[in-house]
Amino acid sequence: MKYFSTRNPEHVVTFREAVLSGLAPDGGLYMPESLPRLSAEVLERMNALSMQEVSTEITKVFASEDIDDAGIERIIESAINFPAPVHFLAPDIASLELFHGPSMAFKDFGARFMAQTMSWFTRNDNDPLHILVATSGDTGGAVALGFYKVPGVEVSILYPKGRVSELQEKQLTTHGHNIHAYEVEGSFDDCQRMVKEAFQDKDIRSRLRLTSANSINISRLIPQTFYYFNAVNQIDRVSDGNRHRPLVFSIPSGNFGNLCAGVMAKKLGARIDTFLAATNVNDTVPRYLASGEYSPMESIATISNAMDVGTPSNFERLLKIFSGDHQSFCEWIIGYRYSDEETKYGMAECHEKYHYISDPHGAIGYLACRDHLASRSDNPVGVFLETAHPIKFPDSVENAVKVSIPTPPQVGTLLEREKKAYQIPAKLDALKQHLLV
Ligand SMILES: *Cc1c(COP(=O)(O)O)cnc(C)c1O
């Protein structure tokens, strides 16, 4: 499989180049040249495979020109080493739990696969690779844990001051070694802009072998297709009847990497009927779906902070997949948006009705799922992505559900560890001073 830039279909590169450069030189995002529908036999066979086996099969579609089968198996074994269970709350509604990895958010899938892939590609190189990444909270933790002590890789993480939870901040700032944290006086969009500017800066480019780890890197997206396939398998196994019911996946969205990966999985043949693009008040995509007009906005801070994105970076990819056609976009994806008040109500309702504690992001997925199911008469199964463990957002969750959240083993001693971060204003020059010492 080759990869092209969303801004220039003539610019075509290998998987290796797409992974190591992150962003195309013209500022576009890399996309696979095709998303071929797998044959009926392959899909049927995949239905009986484990998460790791499915992941290996799908990775071969995307990477076999660049990585041999043994390499792919090694990457999957190290990267995808935790489950993504589908938890049914009732026969019609389920949560796809993506928080069982080390950073307790779905971003572990992307970050770990990317870390292993990059380290495979650079295993014989002398120059260190420098990863530069902006995070609204969960990316940073997943990247820090995915790359921690990976040889030959330095990681710089930018996060917006005061906009991430304590646990998230500790995941970014307490590792040291090859992991460097920058606390930026600004918003997530500022952090994202600084990363983009750094990539275009001649001094930085000439001194550092830079690459990105944001969801703009195609190696973040590919592993996110795995759990859609695996979730469909799990749902079908729960009852034979489920095989004949339409599946609705509700995706709490910010930069739209998760939704984009879902759409890629459907293109490859995953049996998914409809996607719900569920957002907080940063509703650029639901507004696009309703009006056909794309108008990005300044991001607004909410309690679902990993989705506080006014200019979703993967929108460009989604537009490519649908050839820029608003109508086709709307055939697969329906938009929903919720305020913080509604999100709190969603967490409370989900706990009251189903004794299930969701995090604020998952709650937005839950609300969209609930509202959409009520509008359909064809008996679908609704699955909302539970994108992070609620323990990452203890204040808003416990306020809403009025019980304390059981502590998962990944938390360990994190909260007692010392934070170490460079405090910088939202200016490229400030970042540059540290990067180029
Ligand atoms: C990153 C993140 C999201 C948003 O995912 P995108 O792929 O950027 O749309 C949602 N929930 C949580 C918990 C996240 O960390």
Residue 228 lies in a domain: yes
Looking at this protein, which amino acid is placed at residue 256?
Answer: F
CATH code (residue 354): 3.40.50.1100
Residue 12 lies in a domain: no
CA of 308 to the centre of ligand 1 (A): 9
Residue 1 lies in a domain: no
pLDDT tens digit string along 99-137?
999 999 999 999 999 999 999 999 999 889 999 999 877
CA of 100 to the centre of ligand 1 (A): 15
Ligand 1 site, CB within 6 A = 105, 107, 138, 215, 252-258, 306-307, 361, 387-388
Q: What is the span of the domain harbouring residue 248?
A: 69-105+220-401
Are the C-beta atoms of residues 250 and 244 closer than 8 Å to each other?
no
CA of 241 to the centre of ligand 1 (A): 31
Residue 245 lies in a domain: yes
Residue 85 lies in a domain: yes
Residue 63 lies in a domain: no
Distance CA 158, CA 196 (A): 12
Tokens of 350: 């989900």
pLDDT tens digit string along 173-186?
999 999 999 999 99
Domain total for the chain?
Answer: 1
CA of 348 to the centre of ligand 1 (A): 21
pLDDT tens digit string along 64-97?
999 999 999 999 999 999 999 999 999 999 999 9
- pTM given for the model: 0.92
Highest mean pLDDT among 46-50, 286-290, 297-301: 286-290
Residue 160 lies in a domain: no
pLDDT tens digit string along 420-431?
999 999 999 999
Residue 59 lies in a domain: no
Q: Looking at ligand 1, which residue's alpha carbon is closest to its atom 14?
A: 306
